[in-house]
Amino acid sequence: NTVHPGTVDTPIWAKIPAGAEGAEASPPIDPYALARQTVPLRRPATVEDVANSVVFLASPASAYITGAEIVVDGGLT
């Protein structure tokens, strides 16, 4: 089983520049603005959203699930 997160609100977003050319001078990408434009649920995932999927897969509740790909992307894909 695997977990495939989409846009997740984490501190790494502050380190990703918005532009490719001359990116050092560009403001960082806002994951909320990105999600509003691309994710059907209109928000990025939280760390807890992803962790809940992992906890489910590690629990007895998923005992009969094998080879599943759990997509945690708010409907993006």
35, 74 contact by CB (below 8 A): yes
Containing H/E element for 48?
A: helix 47-58
53-76 tens-digit pLDDT:
999 999 999 999 999 999 999 999
Cα distances from 38 to residues 6, 16, 20, in angstroms, run 11, 17, 19
Which pLDDT does position 4 carry in this prediction?
Answer: 97
25-45 tens-digit pLDDT:
566 788 899 899 999 999 999
**If we measure between CA atoms, which residue out of 70, 74, 72, 77 comes closest to residue 2?**
70
